[in-house]
Structure 1
Amino acid sequence: MKKSILLILSVLLTIVSCTEDFEEVNTRKDAIVTPEAGELFTIIVTVPVYNYQRNVNLFADFYSQYWANTISGFESGRYEYVDGWVGNKWREWYTIGLSDIRTLQRLYGEDPAYSNLMQVLEIWEASEWLRMTDYYGDIPYFGAGLGESVPYNSQQEIYYDLFDRITAAVNAIDTNDPSQISLAKEPGQLISPDLIYGWDLEKWKRFGNSLKLRMAMRISNVDPGKAQAEAAAAINAGVMQSNADVAHIPAWNRGFYDYLRNMAVFWDNIRCSKTFLDFMYSETSMEDPRARIWFAYKESSPLAGSDRLEGVANGYNILPVDANDFATLNADTNYIGFAGDGGEIDHYQPVMMYTEVLFLQAEAALRGWTAGDANALMLEGVRASMEFVGVDPADATAYINELTALSGSNEEQLKHLITQKYIANFPNGKEAWADFRRTDYPDLTLPIDGVSSASSVSPGTWVKRIRYANNAHELEQEFMPAGQNTIDSDRMDIRLWWDTADTKTKSNGLMNSNF
């Protein structure tokens, strides 16, 4: 992998050489002057795993309260913005990820034999745009990645365009055209250049439709008519069918990846959030059977061997207890999302899980937008999570049989459904945080030591977005939204377009804005 990256970087340097004479003199006759499509695609789909700790764990993972901070001075859990951390997310997308996508499109987009690859690339690019706009809100979109600064587009514009782009790409994939270039694994290759699906185009189509379903439910409160139409279209076109359709990114055991095992087990930077672990015991009379697969105590912990896993409250300024006493990632787990395949793949990082798709369908059914029984789909989503994690089927059935059925008002049912979705979506903190902002469920807690004085989030309220990177303010101020074009006005308590859940109006544990 490292050799491939170095090769492509050297090739790209060759491509941008200035004069014909220079290229003629300095290019070997047998040199590769264009990166292979498969190698470049491999690099493109690994962008989300870059700088996981700084881009995701210190922000979305804390905001979703899957994990809690244990390091004094790491104030992102109290809603501070740190440009040297999450600012990488902005820079890596616009200068690496999007740049590589535009290069692949430029090199191969006009060749009819690469049509299927271009459609797959379009679906993947859409998933990345969704990842970005759901962090920041309005961002440079139309015309971005072509070498010039462009105006920031509204999140509504971006969403509507992504719906159209994904639909067109899914419909344009031709699985029966033998003339198409394939990225399927070839003899002698360790793995297919398509790290996500090994060039199973039907799975790519289902992933595209599932993304549309995610987006549709995201806008359910702000544009229910559009949401209903897109949700029904996505389901009818075919979404994920089983755990075999899960979209996740593999990481090799010979590389360095700052993922959860490093942060939790080796570096002791995080511990499981008390909020999340409390849900392991509040939904039924039994301990959630996923809990001991996901989490454990260190042998030195005085709590080792106890009947209950205990986590750390979110938002401490200085932790008053020894973090090593509390539950952390189970380093011995065989859960595929952490442990990989036992061979070359160290772990997988989730992009979208099948269980999420079932919960999305359950919510669509609850809203009366699609056929199906919301309660049955919720239970199916829980079971899919149990199977994916590796829970004994009998233990899964015992837990599911004890779950309370959806009942009461729509708001009460949605809270129960989203709470179970929150548990099942672990460890996808980005998605859990988005659901909380959209619905105000499940019940999360404000930082225990209060919002930091260096934060741009008002006391008593939750963080709602990530502000723009410093270099964006330095270079693109004239293109930014008028109300967010200074660092002082670019606040992190500004709600995104689809976020109508005003957390200050919540009473009796229920919102008043989801239906």
Structure 2
Amino acid sequence: MLNFKKKIMKKVLMLLTGVFFIAVSCTENFEEMNTNRNAVTAPQPGQLFNRIVTTPVFDYQRNVNLYADFYAQYWANTVSGFESGRYEYVDGWAFTGWNAFFVDGLANIKSLQRIYGDDPFYNNLMQVLEIWEVSEWARMLAYYGDLPYFENGFASKVPYNSERDIYYDLFDRLNNAVNAINSNDANQFIMPSADDLIYGWDLEKWKRFGNSMRLRLAMRISNVDPGKAQTEAAAAINAGVMQSNDDVAHIPAWVNGFYDYLRNMAIFWDNIRCSKTFTDMMYSQTSMEDPRARIWFNYKESSPMFGSETLEGVENGYNILPADANDFATMNESTTYIGFTGNDAEIDHYQPVMLYAEVIFLQAEAALRGWTGGDPTSIMQDGIRASMEFVGVEPAAATAYINEIPALSGSNEAQLKQLITQKYIANFPNGREAWVDFRRTDYPDLTLPIEGVSSAATVAAGTYVKRVRYPDNAFNTEADMLPADQNTIDTNRMDNRLWWDIADTKTKSNGLMNSNF
């Protein structure tokens, strides 16, 4: 069941310095909330930064698993009453993610900027913070669409800005921040490596992450604004994106601390099983089982399917669950995958922000679109190999599998479908980004809820979910600030497409869209 009394990470207990608040709305009384007269007024930068970069994983089950993970069909629900797999919206769940960003993450970012931003000694810190803030805005944009962005921070209510305007600003911010970092300046603040949970204060890696994020956002708008997308993608690649799995951006969690992730949901709570959509892909790409499959998944020893030659998942979107739902494939308890096992010491697991394999696939798509040089097939193969390496597949097994992957062929749409399908597998378990790719390209082939869209959902029957709606609190406190076409609960539907999602999946013909090129 939902674990509403989660432990707080031991490494962030020291950070409670008056900047973690409960808010009436995302922006109301922001400055007043952001000042606690009885608290320490100047926390150490690393302490607050530590908390900022863990914000995306707060309440993972309610923020991600019950929404993006199910929508991307990496996982399927096995708990009666959890209808988010059938596109129902539960405000008490989804609001936790909205609140975590605006009331915790963004508020803490603004605290660091206010305390240290005017001191040149902290220039590098401010640029790293800027890169991270952009990645967080991008995460929220992918869920909701238009957001209160440009004036956010001081007024009691501010207007929601268009996605296009926000994306254009994010590109500028990334470019400026990366260029402003000077890793050779000995007179700059140096954060203790233990306080930078992402890169241990390796500023060159932060720059590569910033460029990689720029590339991700460029490809996100590839269909709606291809000219801007091409310009930004080429600039990001030329500036220098991730170079190896050492550049992976992922958030660590500790053995005795934060503990709301896939192991709990899959093994201890029996809330999820692998989606049949995903297990089927483990066997449909070549004549062999994907060598990553058994690293990620297995059956519980108590399952009658334990020891089976193949893995089978649960179909997504049941109203009444099969009695044997928990017998199907789940997270592998004896895995060697670092995302599930951490470092076999203090770190219990890692939750992905951006994988190196994703960055390679982004470059493969840019090449397929003719925006950059290189052979898309070769780059795709590099992406699969990077994923295999990161997961822990033996090199010989990886090579055998990759040698069976067909070269990209056919129309551009056919090639993109094959490319995105391989990217989808390699991006596991990053359900947030897999859901973005499906909405953006309508690949790979996902399924509609097996027992239909819930009658309580704001998604039309036979239609895929396209966004998470704004929380009820937004309508209660700032309805006049919301986008004009979504300023009531009735019009704020979850089948409304975001700006960059230009085509309806129902227009597919012979398994292909006609809208990606």
Superposition TM-score tier, normalisation by shorter sequence:
over 0.9
Aligned to 1:385: 387
Aligned match for 1:156, one of 164, 185, 190: 164
Gaps (5+ residues) in structure 2?
A: 1-7, 21-30
Q: Determine if contact 1:11/1:35 at 8 Å carries over to the other structure.
A: no
Q: Residue 250 of structure 1 aligns to a residue in which SS? A: strand
CA distance in 2, matches of 1:446, 1:307: 27
Q: CA deviation at 1:38?
A: 0.7
Q: Which deviations, in whole Å up to 9, do the C-alpha atoms of 1:427-478 show, x marking residues without a partner?
A: 0000000000000000000000000000000000100000001111111100
Aligned to 1:188: none
Aligned to 1:80: 88
Aligned to 2:302: 300
One-letter code aligned to 1:317: N
One-letter code aligned to 1:177: D
Q: CA deviation at 1:164?
A: 0.1
Q: Which deviations, in whole Å up to 9, do the C-alpha atoms of 1:115-144 show, x marking residues without a partner?
A: 000000000000000000110000111121
Q: Judge which range, 249-258 or 483-492, deviates more.
A: 249-258
CA distance in 2, matches of 1:33, 1:497: 40
Q: Which deviations, in whole Å up to 9, do the C-alpha atoms of 1:300-346 show, x marking residues without a partner?
A: 21111111100000000111231221000001111011110001100
Please tell me whether residue 100 in structure 1 is matched to residue 108 in structure 2: yes
Q: CA RMSD in A?
A: 1.7
Please tell me whether residue 240 in structure 1 is matched to residue 248 in structure 2: no
Please tell me whether residue 45 in structure 1 is matched to residue 53 in structure 2: yes
Aligned to 1:211: 213
Q: Determine if contact 2:10/2:257 at 8 Å carries over to the other structure.
A: no
Q: CA deviation at 1:256?
A: 3.1
Q: Determine if contact 1:264/1:270 at 8 Å carries over to the other structure.
A: yes
CA distance in 2, matches of 1:52, 1:2: 14
Aligned match for 2:375, one of 363, 373, 376: 373
Q: Mapping of 1:281-300 within 5 angstroms?
A: 281-300=283-302
Aligned to 1:428: 430
Q: Judge which range, 401-410 or 296-305, deviates more.
A: 296-305
Q: Residue 352 of structure 2 aligns to a residue in which SS? A: strand
Q: CA deviation at 1:2?
A: 5.4
TM-score, normalization by structure 2:
0.94
Aligned length: 498
Q: Residue 384 of structure 2 aligns to a residue in which SS? A: helix
Aligned match for 1:195, one of 184, 189, 197: 197
Q: Residue 195 of structure 2 aligns to a residue in which SS? A: coil
Aligned to 2:67: 59
Q: Determine if contact 1:133/1:139 at 8 Å carries over to the other structure.
A: yes
The 1:298–1:8 alpha-carbon spacing in structure 2 relative to 1, beyond 3 Å, is closer
Aligned match for 2:312, one of 305, 310, 313: 310
Q: Determine if contact 1:62/1:314 at 8 Å carries over to the other structure.
A: yes
Aligned match for 1:124, one of 122, 132, 137: 132
Aligned to 2:27: none
Please tell me whether residue 483 in structure 1 is matched to residue 491 in structure 2: no
One-letter code aligned to 1:368: G
Aligned to 1:268: 270
CA distance in 1, matches of 2:497, 2:197: 34
Q: CA deviation at 1:148?
A: 2.7
TM-score, normalization by structure 1:
0.94
The structure number with the bigger radius of gyration is: 1
Please tell me whether residue 362 in structure 1 is matched to residue 364 in structure 2: yes
Q: Which deviations, in whole Å up to 9, do the C-alpha atoms of 1:255-309 show, x marking residues without a partner?
A: 1321000000110000000000000000000000000000000112111111110
Q: Which deviations, in whole Å up to 9, do the C-alpha atoms of 1:157-180 show, x marking residues without a partner?
A: 110000000000000000111110
Q: CA deviation at 1:145?
A: 2.7
CA distance in 2, matches of 1:386, 1:42: 30
Q: Which deviations, in whole Å up to 9, do the C-alpha atoms of 1:335-394 show, x marking residues without a partner?
A: 011110001100000000000000000000000000111000000000000000000111
Q: Determine if contact 1:102/1:146 at 8 Å carries over to the other structure.
A: no
Q: Which deviations, in whole Å up to 9, do the C-alpha atoms of 1:45-70 show, x marking residues without a partner?
A: 00001000000000000000000001
CA distance in 1, matches of 2:19, 2:494: 37
Aligned match for 1:145, one of 140, 153, 160: 153
Q: CA deviation at 1:147?
A: 5.0
One-letter code aligned to 1:55: N
Aligned to 1:170: 178
Aligned to 1:9: 16
The 1:147–1:344 alpha-carbon spacing in structure 2 relative to 1, beyond 3 Å, is farther
One-letter code aligned to 2:420: I
Q: CA deviation at 1:10?
A: 4.1
Q: Judge which range, 158-167 or 315-324, deviates more.
A: 315-324
Please tell me whether residue 400 in structure 1 is matched to residue 402 in structure 2: yes
Q: CA deviation at 1:86?
A: 1.1
